[in-house]
Structure 1
Amino acid sequence: MKELTKTKVTVRLRKAEDRKEWYIYLESYPVQVIGKKSPQRIREYLNRSVTTVDFDKKRVARTTETSVSYKPKRNDNGIIICKSDHDIETMLYADAIRKLRQKEYDNAELYSELDTIQAEQKEKSQENFIKYFEAVVKKRHKNSSTSIIINWERSIEFLKDFAGETIVFSQIDFKFCEDFKSFLLTAKRGGNKDGILSQNTASTYFSVFKAALKQAFIDGYFTTDISAKIKSIPSQETRREYLTIEELNSLVETPCENDVLKRAALFSALTGLRHSDIQKLKWNEISYEGNQPRINFTQKKTKGVEYMPISQQALEICGEPKSPKDLVFENLTNPSWINRPLKNWVAKAGINKNITFHCFRHTFATLQLSNGTDIYTVSKMLGHTNVKTTQVYAKVIDEKKNKAAEAIQLKSLKN
């Protein structure tokens, strides 16, 4: 941002050489003059003079070999004090001219600064939003989880599909955003997948787009916060699949072709940990508080530092302790590589449900609430930053209660 020069205009006096009279002039400094590198001092004589100036004998202005001059006294408003009524009127006139000049300088500087801001804004409005969007991902999410980064990158890809590789900021208005929203709601999933994006996926990508718009407003690319004016795509409540305690025990008794997968899945059901947190869990993160085993770790998704007590069964699933820096569930692969052995294992156990690894976390939450653990404790154990996220599981419990209410049926009491 350009720094203002803060020009100040002051009423000054110059002594006439041959008589007791002082000429009045305005001095303006510093003034930027075209063609001059350094700021200039500008003097403007007002064709007025005074003879009855009241000088301050305690404040020396200039000393020569033959004389000493003093600074004039000024009142609280900075106006030079004179003794005669005529000179007082003259000094009031001089101060009025000073105010006029000061206002001119102030306005000139403000308009110059405004011109600079407008020029910078115009330049920014012609930059490529796609390039900015990609830079935000690298800067804002360099330490985020893989799933968050993928959502940001996928949002950019769909934006490119919608409007091309180059989208200048000046193109983006309310209509552009609404059109992109409509595009997402009918966009094909891409890759080898058939069908269109689910509403929840479209909602996620549009929320990412809005977050990028918000950051662009903060960084000065927009003069108004356009993200606050556009409505999000509402998310639809999805069914959270989970396992009953009987189904979990069936899985315990059923062999799995991938032993570390079986142990990690059951560990998730006993602790509620995500796959990403289990995958990076090390032995030095497992400790005891008295006789209570616990894990201390930083959640990969939320970056929250957590400690969690775990059961003896969960500890036993971890196996024999190894070196502190070793992974507890060594060779646990990414979710995409465990889908097939996981589905085979679930099918062999006779369970007819669409179970993914994340369902074991859902199972933990549902069983905890079913057994009377309060929702705030469950929310904390899951590492949720907002208890509203946990309330999804509470609705599952309410459905079970409603079904339970109809479970006992007596014969008609009308007879």
Structure 2
Amino acid sequence: MTCTKVTLRKRAISKGRYSLYLDYYPGIRNPSTMKMTRRESLGIYIFQAPKNSIEQSYNKEILQKAEGIRAIRVQSLINEEFDFLDKHKLKASFLDFFYDLVLKKDQKWLMVYTHFSNFVNNQCTFEDVTINLCRRFRSYLLNANQLKHKNLKISRNSSASYFSTFRALLKIAYRDKLIPENINDFLEKIDYEDTKKEYLTLEELKQLANTPCKIPVLKSASLFASLTGLRISDILKLDWSEIILASDDGYCMRIRTEKTETETTLPLSEEALELCGTPSLGKVFKGLERTMVYQPLKKWVADAGITKNITFHCFRHTFATLQIAAGTDIYTVSKMLTHKNVSTTQIYADLVSFKKRESANKISLK
């Protein structure tokens, strides 16, 4: 195999300048287009005849940077990495890439896509995705109005959640070598504000279970979430093929979670399995739609005489707090919730106030 030599060269252009480029000999083939190339313009220039110390310093600094690029190209050729040739990738639409992912993700990804599309006026290539652009989008999220209620600001926690999703997008783009650097290394997260995590007590959950709901599948899915801790995104896509017989003759779910993309196997209680209905093909909760977890859910909760502000995600909180209250250790609850860190699960232990009282009374001098 012939080793390609990379030489930094210059070409005279207008206004007394030299344009800098790299000369490859012999030429190299772009693995995507299969075309041969000899030259790579660096898009930078130096003065042909520096008139003062400023221009001399400029020339010296630019030549050092150009030499640095040349060294990187030599290393890439040695490692047989030719990504730098695919400059047409940088001209491709970042928004199209984003939207293709949205089609595979949940509603939140669509919300973030819409905000970002508005932010960039519906035009953004991979070349446009810079640290500065992403930092400005972070600032945008902290000050933008909601999409549906245009007179209301996005909440702090929604901004944090949206930016977290955007950072996940950047991670995928970098992993797929569509952007040249891991921009997340230079971005600050948006911190979440502490909020009250609402949940149902066991008595309230039983009260809700005994209350009729106009949408049976909504009732089944909600109670299922309370017994398993599963998120709405995972319940919506839960398939009968993912419910299998375990080695202990019980049933379990073998799923890949939507939010954390975690492969996990979770046991199912007999009550949770009954809520799934008769086994068949396809989705478990057929007919369940995300729109049902808003007004229809609020109506059902109100009919049960529960005045708490209960959202579908509160059933996940309910599962966690009831498990901890029943004595299940935090590590096990963490695994059931597919949390990556036990510290995330700790907040549910803090919610169970009577467990704190029980702990306080364990030490007595009498």
Coarse TM-score class (shorter-chain normalised): 0.5 to 0.7
1:294 counterpart = 2:251: yes
The offset of 1:256, in angstroms, is 1.5
1: CA distance, partners of 2:183 / 2:336: 37
Question: Which has the higher mean CA deviation after the structures are superposed, 194-203 or 293-302?
Answer: 293-302
CA contact (8 A) 1:294 1:307 kept: no
- 2:250 aligned counterpart, secondary structure: strand
Quote the Cα distance in structure 2 between the aligned partners of 1:186 and 1:394.
34
Q: Distance in 1 between matches of 2:330 and 2:212?
A: 34
Q: Percent identity?
A: 38
Separation in structure 1 between the aligned mates of residue 167 and residue 331 of structure 2, nearest angstrom: 30
The answer for the alignment partner of 2:339 in structure 1 is: 384
Return the alpha-carbon distance in structure 1 between the equivalents of residues 239 and 341 of structure 2.
27
Q: Residue 233 of structure 1: CA displacement?
A: 1.4
Does the residue aligned with 1:195 lie in a helix, a strand or coil? coil
Shift of 1:355: 1.2
| Contact map agreement 1:144 1:300 (CA 8 A) in 2 | no
Residue 370 (structure 1) aligned to one of 325, 342, 357: 325
Q: Which structure has the greater CA radius of gyration?
A: 1
Q: Distance in 1 between matches of 2:26 and 2:244?
A: 69
Report the Cα offset of residue 322 of structure 1.
4.0
- Residue in 2 that maps onto 1:271: 228
Structure 1 equivalent of residue 105 of structure 2? 145
Using the size of structure 1 for normalisation, the TM-score is 0.58
1:342 aligns with 2:304: no
C-alpha distance in structure 2 between counterparts of 1:298 and 1:112, whole Å: 43
2:139 to 177, 182, 193: 182
8 Å CA contact 2:102, 2:113 repeated in 1: no
Alignment equivalent of 2:313, drawn from 351, 358, 377: 358
Cα distance, 1:316–1:144 mapped onto 2, change above 3 Å? same
The aligned length equals: 296
What does 1:29-178 correspond to in 2, within 5 Å? Answer: 124=87, 127=90, 131-135=93-97, 138=100, 141=101, 144-147=104-107, 150-151=108-109, 153-167=110-124, 175-178=132-135
Which deviates more, 301-310 or 279-288? 279-288
Amino acid at match of 1:134: D
Q: Which residue of 259, 262, 285 maps to 1:329?
A: 285
Instruction: Check the 8 A contact 1:213/1:226 in 2, yes or no.
Output: yes
Q: Give the Cα–Cα distance (whole angstroms) in 2 for the partners of residues 168 and 326 of structure 1.
A: 38
Q: Aligned equivalents of 2:131 and 2:182: distance in 1?
A: 11
8 A contact 1:261–1:338 mirrored in 2: yes
Q: After superposition, what is the alpha-carbon deviation per residue over 1:268-306, rounded to whole angstroms, capped at 9, x for unaligned?
A: 212222334334445554454477531233234144443
- Provide the residue aligned with 2:156 in structure 1: 199
Instruction: Give the superposition deviation at 1:184.
Output: 1.4
Note the alpha carbon deviations across 1:144-187, whole angstroms, 9 max, x for none: 5324xx42x43343334334333566766555444332221110
C-alpha contact (below 8 Å) 1:366/1:396 kept by paired residues: yes
* 2:51 equivalent in structure 1: none
Query: Aligned partners of 1:176 and 1:327: how far apart in 2?
Result: 40
RMSD of aligned residue pairs (Cα, Å): 4.2
CA distance in 2, matches of 1:199, 1:190: 15
Where structure 1 has 5 or more consecutive residues not aligned to the other structure, the ranges are 8-30, 38-106, 408-415
Q: Residue type of the partner of 1:145? A: K
Alpha-carbon distance in 1 for matches of 2:151, 2:355: 37
